[in-house]
Structure 1
Amino acid sequence: MPSLNPASRERVLVLLRHARAESWGETDHDRHLADEGRADAGAAGRWLAEQGLVPDHALVSSATRTQETWQSLAEAAGWSLEPQLDDGLYSAGPDTVLDLVRGTSSEARTLVVIGHNPTVAYLAQMLDDGDGDPTAAADMVMGYPTCALTVLTFDGDWSALDLASATVTAFHVGRA
């Protein structure tokens, strides 16, 4: 697998679907992670840390399950970064999430986005330029279960990120 550490103008984008949540809650927005989901998010965090990934910015849906996914992920990875919570990520489509990513400060080199499906899976597929890891790209297309993540690299400023402009370097499903 190629190095996932950003170099020169390269940016790293991690798109993550939240971990497994309870099937009930007062509202869908308020659903908590299941115990299995917390463990899976921790496994994903450890995997990202093993890859040498350390985000300097994170966009996280304001839903309870995405916030809890971030907490377990970050704790397991050893990250102390406070995420930017976004109400719009809860119901956003791929184009809206892409716009949010484009609005990220150019100082950020590695960005983690935690959202919901089918949006996360669609966006990962839409950004894929076809030049990356063919196995990772194929696995991503075959299914995007809870706690699945795609790592993409992009050479340029976030504001220039466009469809088919990022390279898939890894696809991983966090499982404890």
Structure 2
Amino acid sequence: MSRLVVMRHAKAEQAGPTDFDRPLAPRGHRDAADAGAWFARQGLVPDHALVSAALRTRETWESVAEGASWTLEPDLDRSLYAAGPETALDLIRLVPDSVSTLVVIGHNPTMASLAQLLDDGDADAELTQQLFSGYPTSAAAVFEHDGPWTDLREGGARLVAFHVGRE
């Protein structure tokens, strides 16, 4: 059984030199660290991370990893910045099958759409309600998937947890 975390970046500043270069707000760093601490309490330790190359997603990863005490170096992917949910799913399908726990950190509306696209509808009603009630900054959906990443399809993963990092 593989685990997949689909996370939206933490709260970012409203302005930056470009949208790609917008940093996290101080609250974003705190919220991402809170999410990391939650991952640690869940015993979630990724062996691969796919992170948009934008500044706010890189900084989200750094704060999450610090909060969780992870030392993994992420795979920074520039295409994830502008990817739609289908493209993001294609990027996940390229992950080696040796990866058992994958964290993906990107942008909305893609991350919310991807999480909803993956959901098989078999989760607890409360979890499903949380998933479909909005995907604020620092939101993370945790899925289980049985099979290789190349076989991951729409409706092909079971939602097992949902958390919004808030300090």
| TM-score, normalisation: structure 2 | 0.99
Matches within 5 A, 1:121-160: 121-160=112-151
What is the deviation of 1:93?
Answer: 0.1
Counterpart check, 1:23 vs 2:14: yes
How many residue pairs get aligned? The number is 167
- 3-state SS in 2 of match to 1:67: helix
Counterpart amino acid of residue 141 in structure 1? F
Distance (whole Å) between structure 2 residues aligned to residue 134 and residue 152 of structure 1: 15
- 1:174 aligned to 2:147? no
Write out aligned runs for 1:27-176 (5 A).
Answer: 27-176=18-167
Query: Displaced runs of 4+ in structure 1, greater than 3 A?
Result: none
Alignment partners' CA distance in 1, 2:155 and 2:73: 29
CA offset at residue 140 of structure 1? Answer: 1.1
The CA distance in 2 between the partners of 1:122 and 1:90, in whole Å, is: 14
What amino acid is the match of 2:31?
D
Matched, 1:14 2:26: no
Which residue identity lines up with residue 65 of structure 1 in the other structure?
A: R
User: CA offsets, 1:14-60, max 9 Å, x none?
Assistant: 00000000000000000000000000000000001100000000000
**CA separation in 2, counterparts of 1:94 and 1:83?**
20
The unaligned stretches of length 5 or more in structure 2 are: none
1-side partners of 2:2 and 2:125: how far apart? Answer: 20
Letter paired with 1:151: V
**Identity, % of aligned pairs?**
57
TM-aligned CA deviation for residue 133 of structure 1:
2.3
**Structure 1: gaps of 5 or more residues:** 1-9
Alpha-carbon distance, 1:157 to partner: 0.4
2:28 is aligned with what amino acid? G
Query: What is the identity, as a one-letter code, of the residue corresponding to 1:78?
Result: S
| Equivalent residue letter for 2:74 | P
Q: CA separation in 2, counterparts of 1:147 and 1:76?
A: 13
1:4 aligns with: none
